[in-house]
Amino acid sequence: MKILMVTAEAVPFAKTGGLADMVSALSIQLAREGHDVKIVMPRYYKIDRKKLELLPGPMAIAAGNEETWSAVYTTKMPGEEKVSVYFIDHEQCFGRDGIYGVPGETDFHDNPYRFAVLNHGAFQLCRKLGWYPDIIHAHDWSTSLAPVLLKNVCRYCGFENTASVLTIHNQGYQGVYGKDKFPALGIDWGLYYGAGFEHNGAINFLQAGVSCADMITTVSPTYAREIQTAEGGFGMDGLLRVRSDVIRGILNGADLRQWNPEIDKKIPANYSAKDLSGKTKCKAELQKRMGLEVNPDIPVVGIVTRLVDQKGIAEVFAPTYGSIFNICANMKVQFAILGSGETWCENEINTLQSKLPNLRAYIGYDDALSHLIEAGSDFFLMPSRYEPCGLNQIYSMLYGTLPIVRRTGGLADTVDNYNEKTGDGTGFVFDQLTPGAVYDTVGWAVWAYYNKKDHILKMQKAGMKKTFGWDEASSKYVQVYKEALARGCSRF
């Protein structure tokens, strides 16, 4: 099949979260199975033109009220030559730092126009290449315009046999903008209602994508159910229930070339389930690097996260009631934290590290450190309010680090709770997102660390044996693509 991934992020070029990992890993896997996969994304300011190849000739894009022009660059996906990545090079839209906005601040006010350029540009790119895909696969609100365009605008212009799939990585981000921005989209006003943009008098990109896509996927089976409830749907659960026959939940895999303790070059020592001695070295290096007491006997809890409400940060870090101060004050445990996001939380973490010798944090984004935390920690805390899939708990299990998670979304689908009698399980799971539950569950893990060493080892090995590769997931996507083609094309 010919598949075009339309996306705002893809590793290693641009990333704010797991979407970037997923798009590249799935593309690589599909290409290895013989599919013809291309990715189109913006050339953000930070992506160096010198490392890319310029396609000859400019490209006209009909976003906004008039045509605009962009250059197109291309390169091969590092590690998989078969996947070509195309970059829409539009200075006005993407020649700045930040993917959706200035990090930690609000979205760019011209996002409707910026992403209209990306989505229209995706279709124009196909025309430019003379390559018309079977599937246009869009990801989240920022490329939700692509299914809208396919259904309403581009169907008869070379894309007669193309179908669309929209993957919802996060229902909490819908791309909501004032109605006055609608002309930026470069489509007929009739589509404001006709394509399902209208939401409480504003534009809602994701809602239009959900209305128009031939098939919809989300990144775990539990999350596919949760988005259809009032709590998980963020105001869109009604529409999602209407479309439930086309919604599938497919659990993400992990990119095992990047996240494998046996070959990971970003950690000081490699190891496997058979011989965990390298993990002890990683722990010592992590303690040293973070400025924690270097002591193999004290359990280290790692956190790597965007510091946003979705991740349960209030219950852990809020100044007056967050659990972490009491955990660190009362338990013989260490915390190694890496994260960036909401300013209050960054400040609070810095305050905590000035008060607590057993909590050390790096505020920022650091890929190498995230690998060291996964490898060097004994536990990994992920108390998410909601979690569509979650990659870090998967990486944790692969690295013999036991996740402590709330039972939600992909966390519920991937982590098996500890059984104190048998030592079965792959982590520690709790239900209610309260500071008390976080405290108790970290306490339970710390207790097991000191008192049930054999169980901890058994769980580490059980997690490391799990297969989180992309092969199973990719065959499910191919199935969805086939269903999309059957549905999309049968309408015309």
Which one of 17-25, 124-132, 138-146, 326-334 is the stretch in contact with ligand ADP (CB under 6 A)?
A: 17-25
Toward ligand ADP, which CB reaches closer, 186 or 409?
409
Candidates 11, 22, 163, 485: give the one binding ligand GLC (CB under 6 A).
22
Closest residue to ligand ADP, judged by C-beta, is 18
391 forms part of the interface with ligand GLC (CB under 6 A): yes
Q: How far apart are CA 204 and CA 173, in angstroms?
A: 10
Number of residues that bind ligand ADP (CB under 6 A): 18
Which has the closest alpha carbon to 78: 147, 125, 31? Answer: 31
CB of 356 to ligand GLC, least distance (A): 28
Spatial neighbors of 455 by CB under 8 A, at least 6 apart, are 418, 420, 423, 448
Residues between 241 and 260 with contacts to ligand GLC, criterion CB under 6 A: 252
288 is in an annotated binding site: no
What mask, x for binding ligand GLC by CB under 6 A, covers residues 117 to 136? --------------------
Q: What are the Cα distances from residue 52, in Å, to 48, 161, 225, 486? A: 7, 31, 41, 37
Which one of 52-60, 238-246, 389-397, 448-456 is the stretch in contact with ligand ADP (CB under 6 A)?
A: 389-397
CB of 264 to ligand GLC, least distance (A): 20
Tokens of 345: 């939380």
- DSSP H stretches of helix in 172-307: 190-194, 205-212, 221-226, 237-242, 277-290
Q: How far apart are CA 402 and CA 461, in angstroms?
A: 10
CB of 276 to ligand ADP, least distance (A): 21
Query: What backbone phi and psi angles, to 5 degrees, belong to 439?
Result: -60, -50
Cβ–Cβ < 8 Å for 302, 295 = no
Candidates 29, 68, 111, 170: give the one binding ligand GLC (CB under 6 A).
170
Cβ–Cβ < 8 Å for 381, 443 = no
Q: How far apart are CA 191 and CA 482, in angstroms?
A: 27
Q: Which amino acid is at 221?
A: P
484 forms part of the interface with ligand GLC (CB under 6 A): no
Closest residue to ligand GLC, judged by C-beta, is 18
CB of 172 to ligand GLC, least distance (A): 8
Cβ–Cβ < 8 Å for 382, 403 = yes
What mask, x for binding ligand ADP by CB under 6 A, covers residues 61 to 100? ----------------------------------------
Q: Which residues bind ligand GLC (CB under 6 A)?
A: 17-19, 22, 169-170, 219, 252, 387-391, 410
Known binding residues are 15
